[in-house]
Chains A and B, each alone.
Chain A
Amino acid sequence: MEKEVMSSLKMAGNILCSASSFIRKCIFGVLRVGPIPNHIAFIMDGNRRYAKKQKLSHDGAAGGGGRYDAGFWALMVMLLYCQELGVKYITAYAFSIDNFKRKPEEVESLMASMLEKFHLLDILVKRLAVRVHFVGNLELLSNELRASAMELTEATAAYSKSVLTICIAYTSRDEILHAVRESCEQKRIDLEFDNDDDNEIKLMKVEKNMYMAVAPDPDIIIRTGGENRLSNFLLWQSCWSHLHSMWVLWPEIGVWNLVFAILNFQRNKTYHLEMRKKEKEL
């Protein structure tokens, strides 16, 4: 009797999954009639509030941060949806340089959580043929974390179906400073060896030295958690991006939130492309 009930429940579950999958495919099909963004960036805000809501504790150094698990899975689900939709580039703001100012036990917990997730991430991205980049000031990370990041970057270098860029130990100002330093250094070398008569540094040169040169500028920047600010994320790259703020906390983000964001983007796309093209011509 129990077996029959379990079997019925399983069948019902499968039917529901198939039905929701079918509905999702239909919605995505409708969305694809309009322009699909090439690059979506996420500011994954709200993990701590979600953990508080769910009464999750952070385990400190002992077992990593259980409170960030839901956030990780939310990112994986978004990656899946974006891939299904045809969004090639996904960028996620995982850890800001400013976050180092949080309580040490919280930072440690977050770092431990990230390290823990590498193995899972490795399996998932290889399964989905996703190329992974880690951008930021990686020197600020522990040797272990940095080594894992480099390893995963190399292991996925051959994939081209989708590109996932994880911003870790990143702020946009740090990125711009890095690009400015590199550009000044290169200009000095060029002038020294007489390779360049032109004293000017052009926009393209600065852009080439950005950490985020691995991806085009985002079409949409989605911020969860209800705040309406960039928090030092992709300042240079966001100039023409459609900014979409939503009240939902990051671990609770779902397909409808993504659909709404893309619908809003589709209303404004032509203007964005035009302006971006004109600026590059300058």
Chain B
Amino acid sequence: MPFSLHFSPTPLITAPSPLSKPFFLVPYYHTLHAPKSPFCSSTEHALTHQGKKEAFDRGPEDSQTLPLGLRRDAMPSHVAVIMDGNRRWARLRDLPVRSGYEAGVESLRKIVEICCKWGIKVLSVFAFSSDNWFRPKVEVEFLMSLFERGMQEDTGIFFRENIRISVIGDLTKLPKALQELMVNLEEATKNNTRFQLIVAVSYSGHYDVVQACQRLALKAKCGLIEPSDINVSLMEQELETNCTEFPHPDLLIRTSGEFRISNFMLWQLAYTELFFAQSLWPDFGEAEFLKALLAFQQRQRRYGV
């Protein structure tokens, strides 16, 4: 089956070209390793639009054709994404910040769809960091309402497409209604097996380790374990990523050209391959995701040895 793109309705506003970047930001050192496969130069040309296609094209994964150059046996099980650049995207188009976030949600929907098609089991997204609470109150409130609306609107899709939703982070800081919605959605989808979407909200890597430490301290206080017994296995049981079979991302993608982890999943990223994309999150589409996956498949993973 030839590979084809599903185009979601695109906004009517065309963007001015982003400000050109100084030479030292050209991805010479870090990003976009040129794929070594001889077929890859034709990858983008191979992406053809064949009219409107049903979202989440269902067939069994093995029969789905992957884009040229991608190998099914080398697909990452767990991809993590730092969805950076929504506000910059809006500013570059003279749009309000909320438009940037809405475009970001659309981008996320597309990536979830692609992950389902290409056989990626888990996608973790850094939706709202612990330090995002410092943003203007209006912006934070808008984000909370966007999460609520997004989860409500897509509930049907999660059930229909057999997608499991997990939420990690300090949920006590969220509005009560949103907390309840998230907890209920997690519970209702916990037996879905096709794909898992982990949404990190009010989350930080430091918070994750500290809360695991607190749970272990409580167990030690109750005499269930000795502090000296604490090992990798006990630690991982208490981390928030204990909700998934694949707690360690194979690939981390950060958009918008920033080269840092920003306190996302620190323990879990020990051996994760890092990919820094120049494009802003709302512009991060199938072609960019494909580049990231192709680069990932070229890497030789040694797991520290």
Stretch at the interface among B49-57, B152-160, B181-189, B259-267: B259-267
With an 8 A cutoff between CB atoms, is B227 at the interface? yes
Shortest distance from the beta carbon of B305 to any chain A beta carbon, whole Å: 5
| Nearest-CB residue, chain A, relative to B31 | A228
With an 8 A cutoff between CB atoms, is B68 at the interface? no
Q: Which residues of chain A have C-beta atoms less than 8 A from B266's C-beta? A: 235-236, 238-239
- Inter-chain contact A235/B270, CB cutoff 8 Å: yes
Q: Which residues of chain B have C-beta atoms less than 8 A from A101's C-beta? A: 304-305
List residues 43-95 of chain B with CB under 8 A from any CB of chain A: none
Interface size on B, residues (CB 8 A): 48
Q: Which residues of chain B have C-beta atoms less than 8 A from A137's C-beta? A: none
Q: Which residues of chain B have C-beta atoms less than 8 A from A232's C-beta? A: 270-271, 304
- Given A206-B209, A279-B130, A177 and B232 touching (CB < 8 A)? yes
Shortest distance from the beta carbon of B200 to any chain A beta carbon, whole Å: 14
Stretch at the interface among B3-11, B110-118, B212-220: B212-220
- Given A177-B232, A188-B220, A264-B259, A229 and B134 touching (CB < 8 A)? no
- Inter-chain contact B273/A180, CB cutoff 8 Å: no
Q: Which residues of chain A have C-beta atoms less than 8 A from B270's C-beta? A: 171-173, 230-232, 235
List residues 182-207 of chain A with CB under 8 A from any CB of chain B: 182-185, 187-188, 191, 199-203, 206
Q: Which residues of chain A have C-beta atoms less than 8 A from B220's C-beta? A: 184-185, 187-188
List residues 246-277 of chain A with CB under 8 A from any CB of chain B: 246-247, 260, 263-264, 267-268, 272, 275
Q: Which residues of chain A have C-beta atoms less than 8 A from B261's C-beta? A: 238-239, 241, 243
- Inter-chain contact A176/B260, CB cutoff 8 Å: no
With an 8 A cutoff between CB atoms, is A38 at the interface? no
- Given A99-B305, A180-B216, A180-B230, A235 and B269 touching (CB < 8 A)? yes
| Nearest-CB residue, chain B, relative to A192 | B221
B205-242 contact mask (Cβ, 8 Å, vs A): 1 or 0: 11101101110111011000001101110010000000
- Given A184-B230, A230-B269, A278-B131, A102 and B305 touching (CB < 8 A)? yes
Place the interface of chain A in its size category: 35 or more
Q: Which residues of chain B have C-beta atoms less than 8 A from A231's C-beta? A: 270-271, 302, 304
| Nearest-CB residue, chain B, relative to A174 | B232
With an 8 A cutoff between CB atoms, is B274 at the interface? yes
List residues 53-70 of chain A with CB under 8 A from any CB of chain B: none
Among A182, A239, A263, A267, point to the contact of B205 (Cβ < 8 A): A239
With an 8 A cutoff between CB atoms, is B303 at the interface? yes
With an 8 A cutoff between CB atoms, is A24 at the interface? no
Q: What separation, in Å, do the CA atoms of A263 and B259 have in the docked complex?
A: 13
Q: Using CB atoms and an 8 Å cutoff, list the residues of chain B in contact with chain A.
A: 24-25, 29-30, 130-131, 134, 204-207, 209-210, 212-214, 216-218, 220-221, 227-228, 230-232, 235, 258-263, 266-267, 269-276, 299, 302-305
Could you give 5 example pairs across A and B, Cβ below 8 Å? Answer: A96-B304, A180-B212, A181-B228, A260-B24, A268-B258
Q: Using CB atoms and an 8 Å cutoff, list the residues of chain A in contact with chain B.
A: 96-99, 101-102, 171-173, 176-177, 180-185, 187-188, 191, 199-203, 206, 227-232, 235-236, 238-247, 260, 263-264, 267-268, 272, 275, 278-279, 282
5 new A-B contacts, CB < 8 A, other than A173-B267, A203-B206, A232-B304, are: A184-B230, A185-B228, A242-B259, A243-B30, A244-B30
